[in-house]
Structure 1
Amino acid sequence: MSDSRQNQPPRWPYYTLAVICCLTLVALFYALSSNSKTTTDPVAEMRAPVNFASLPYEERLDAPMEEGVKRIDYAILRALQDANVSASGIELVAIEQQRFGDETFHFQQLRINSQYTADELITPIATALVQWANKATLTKLSTNMYRVTFNDVETHLLKFNKITATTDFDKNPATLDIGGHLTIVIDDLGESISAAHSLAGLSYPVTFAIWPRSSYAKEIADIASAFSREIIIHQPMEPMSADAQPGPGAVYVDMTPEDIRATVRANFKLVPGAVGLNNHMGSKFTQNREAVREVALEAKKRGFFVLDSMTHAKSVFFNEAKRQGLIAFRRNVFIDNVKEVQSTLHQLKKAERIALAKGTAIAIGHPHPTTLLALQEWEKQRNPRVAVVKLSELLNF
């Protein structure tokens, strides 16, 4: 009886083919993995334009009153927007800087011109305040006037004006004489080339505050220079919260004077064309007079001016820089604590009002997509009586 196995073909070619297929699949998997890794550089994408909401180095503003006022601003604007009140019908008719404890805030008078009565608008405003600023209180003063308080301090006066026709209330054709000068500083630049191009392409000048040790510090400085935009160093400084990380190149209060100055000096070399500096974070550092003195003295050697971003109400950075003989400025408004286009536009209008009232104003924003959109929209509707100038040019006014 013959063995049927002798007539069967050998199986080793099948085993060999199976092994080759497995090896090919493994090689293909690693090749695809390698390609995907090379296309995503974690440093370059750390602040990609598509996801600015996850900025890694932000510090919560240590100013509860200012934060509360901006939440009230947002609640009012959101309610009016939902009620289909035209943005041109919301007038910021007056603004006044007031003090609450160690803080300053801006008391605002708003006139709302619309086809609705006060009674029709006050309910959605009250609802929005509960949602966005639950410590705010709304009080009726008359048929068409309401007061908003925060922590029992008056922050807003609302006047409602019912109209029968649509009117453009943003424009004031009576005069085009320049009544104030405004500087807009955009912080946190250095991780998005596209954001830099967007800012450089605006018809008015914005000041570029560039992180010295960011991925594209030099490239963004080159873009700013090509468009004649002013450049300052966005110097990282120690915050109050241990959870907030100021990033590389930061200075801390426990550093020696020599280390502070060496760190700042090294940062100065990384951003070509810079003419000044402001603080990134720094709510703890800017309260320490000895620490900020070292930064100011090193800035003085370079002929820099200083902008105190005022991330803490007790900051002494501005005063100490002035005491050391430097040209120094102080921030008036953060325009984008609330990352929403209409809110940012309102803060820009607030900055306009301050400039008209005081002669000059400084507003600070960040390269959020909503901020970039708001700046483009503001370009079309900004008050022609407010000139937008470089930070260094404020000295002339």
Structure 2
Amino acid sequence: MSDSRQNQPPRWPYYALAVICCITLVALFCVLTSAPDKKNIEPMAEMRAPVSAASLPYEERLDAPMEEGVKRIDYAILRALQDAKVSTSDIELIAIEQQRFGDETFHFQQLRINSKYNADELVTPIATALVQWSDKANLTKLSGTMYRVTFNDVETHLLKFNQTDGTVDPNKIPATLDIGGHLTIVIDDLGESISAAHSLASLDYPVTFAIWPRSSYAKEIADVASAFSREIIIHQPMEPMSADAKPGPGAVYVDMTSEDIRATLRANFKLIPGAVGLNNHMGSKFTQNREAVREVALEAKESGFFVLDSMTHAKSVFFNEAKRQGLIAFRRNVFIDNVKEVQSTLHQLKKAERIALAKGTAIAIGHPYPTTLLALQEWEKQRNGRVAVVKLSELLDF
């Protein structure tokens, strides 16, 4: 009888495959058991990893309908006058006054428009632009040369039209350049563009650098600021109202424990060499929570920092709580680039100038948008010589 094993396939490949599988499993076990516990990883090394594009913070919509409406009206007026060939230098912000509407504050403005055109020739394009940019704005005639703009039936702008023959009015030339106000410009969201940092540092006036602590180039941009003697603050991400807005890595949230909030802040503070203060990135929800901002204030106090409340919500208590805890604290007056357009940004800078002249000091916040950088460079040539641009920490001296 023949041996049936002669017709069976050889078994050695199965043995070889089994040995390979065993070796693979042993190797995998060794790798897993020898890998460091994530809890024991040095947190600094983890946080300095490059930030992916998907995790970058985004701006939240300013939760201030009145302020947003005023800025839209500003832009509509400027756009209409620009299209009518009225020079920016002929649009004068002659007065500004902070007013309150509900929980919000906004800036009522008086504008004088000097041009070869009469009021009737300019009112039509302004009215058209207002309809395009704000369905809640209305333009009302008060006299042959004066018009009022309202938003939600609240007066926001008074327009005075002055028809000229093109000659320079000697009364418009300032008789003196004595300093009448002090202005600080803070640029938020720095950390992802070294070239933007260099552009800001090279301006002939100081701007304060607000740097995301866990951004890709946080330390490098801090080094640029230090090299040019620019003041540095930490742009601390905080929880916004909208779940769709992403504050980014290193953010603090109202449901975190006090210990977690402070540990997150301490880790962030270590990432920005030379920082002397902090302000909030987003934070419309977080800055309304007194217990949460108290932890931020206490940790900032231990580091010797001052605090700037960016006022991303009208009901923010960040400034008041920081003052209550004995910190030096400031709050923002103007966002200069809600509308990403050069002429609009220039107008907001002039608004900040006027506030500084009226109140003695003012704080304006912008972002490293290309249009903002262009506006800041243009403002160098035309800014009011009676307004000194100073570091944020210097405002207390005035």
Q: TM-score, normalising length from structure 2?
A: 0.86
- CA deviation map 1:301-352 (0-9, x unaligned): 0100000000000000000000000000000000000000000000000000
Work out the number of aligned pairs and report it: 350
Moved more, 65-74 or 167-176: 167-176
1:134 Cα deviation from its structure 2 partner: 1.6
Letter in 2 for 1:173: P
CA distance 1:169–1:331, change in 2 (3 Å): farther
Please state if 1:326 is matched with 2:360: no
Letter in 2 for 1:82: D
Q: How does 1:212-227 map to 2 (within 5 A)?
A: 212-227=213-228
CA distance 1:375–1:350, change in 2 (3 Å): same
Match of 1:142, SS state, is coil
1:168 Cα deviation from its structure 2 partner: 7.9
Contact 1:89 1:168 (8 Å CA) reproduced: no
Over the aligned positions, Cα root-mean-square deviation in angstroms equals 1.7
Distance across 2 between alignment mates of 1:113 and 1:381: 17
Aligned position for 2:88:
87
- CA deviation map 1:350-392 (0-9, x unaligned): 0000000000000000000000000000000000000000000
Aligned position for 1:209:
210
- CA deviation map 1:172-231 (0-9, x unaligned): 431100000000000000000000000000000000000000000000000000000000
Q: TM-score, normalising length from structure 1?
A: 0.86
Contact 2:94 2:111 (8 Å CA) reproduced: yes
1:46 Cα deviation from its structure 2 partner: 4.2
Aligned position for 1:153:
154
Match of 1:348, SS state, is helix
Please state if 1:59 is matched with 2:60: yes
Q: How does 1:1-397 map to 2 (within 5 A)?
A: 46=53, 56-167=57-168, 172-397=173-398
Aligned position for 1:52:
none
Runs of 5+ consecutive residues of structure 1 not aligned to the other structure: 1-41, 48-54
1:129 Cα deviation from its structure 2 partner: 0.2
Distance across 1 between alignment mates of 2:94 and 2:239: 38
- CA deviation map 1:233-253 (0-9, x unaligned): 000000000000000000000
Contact 2:51 2:215 (8 Å CA) reproduced: no
Contact 2:307 2:329 (8 Å CA) reproduced: yes
Letter in 2 for 1:75: A
1:166 Cα deviation from its structure 2 partner: 4.6
Distance across 2 between alignment mates of 1:210 and 1:377: 24
- CA deviation map 1:99-145 (0-9, x unaligned): 00000000000000000000000000000000011210000000000
Letter in 1 for 2:66: M
Runs of 5+ consecutive residues of structure 2 not aligned to the other structure: 1-48
Distance across 2 between alignment mates of 1:133 and 1:320: 35
1:260 Cα deviation from its structure 2 partner: 0.2
Match of 1:338, SS state, is coil
CA distance 1:85–1:271, change in 2 (3 Å): same
Aligned position for 2:22:
none
Contact 1:97 1:105 (8 Å CA) reproduced: yes
Contact 1:112 1:158 (8 Å CA) reproduced: yes
1:43 Cα deviation from its structure 2 partner: 5.7
